[in-house]
């Protein structure tokens, strides 16, 4: 099944922040896309979604991902659903933590 989400850049950033459990600081470091820009989340070999399956490291750096976020995306490419990445430590709780 394929799913296409059409949104503004801010909404996309919030969605990714929630999906990957990024902190507010990580979210604030993201760059907005130009009009018509797109980002692809694709399942890796383990079954989890990663931005690195479709995009290059350079593209994601230009989007604003830090080295820690890129390393997490590398892990996401081979991880199985339900696994936790204990090496990806954020700088604090997610903005959405209080909602869970």
Q: How far apart are CA 65 and CA 16, in angstroms?
A: 11
The pLDDT value recorded for residue 86 is 83
Q: What is the pLDDT of residues 9-27, one digit of tens each?
A: 888 899 999 999 999 999 9
Residue from 68, 77, 3, 91 nearest 47 by CA: 77
The pLDDT value recorded for residue 2 is 75
42: which strand partners?
50
What are the tokens at 55? 């995009």
Q: What is the pLDDT of residues 39-73, one digit of tens each?
A: 999 999 999 999 999 999 999 999 999 999 999 99
Specify the pTM. 0.82
- The residues spanned by each domain of the chain are 9-99
Phi then psi for residue 50, to 5 deg, are -135, 145
The pLDDT value recorded for residue 7 is 86
């Amino acid at each position: 099944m394929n799913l296409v989400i059409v949104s503004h850049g801010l909404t996309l950033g919030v969605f990714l922040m929630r999906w990957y459990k990024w902190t507010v600081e990580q979210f604030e470091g993201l760059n907005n896309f130009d009009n018509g820009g797109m980002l692809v989340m694709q399942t890796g070999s383990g079954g989890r979604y990663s931005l690195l399956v479709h995009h290059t490291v350079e593209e994601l750096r230009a989007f604003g991902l830090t080295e820690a976020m890129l390393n997490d995306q590398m892990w996401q490419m081979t991880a199985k659903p339900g696994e936790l990445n204990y090496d990806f430590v954020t700088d604090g709780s997610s903005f959405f933590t209080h909602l869970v």
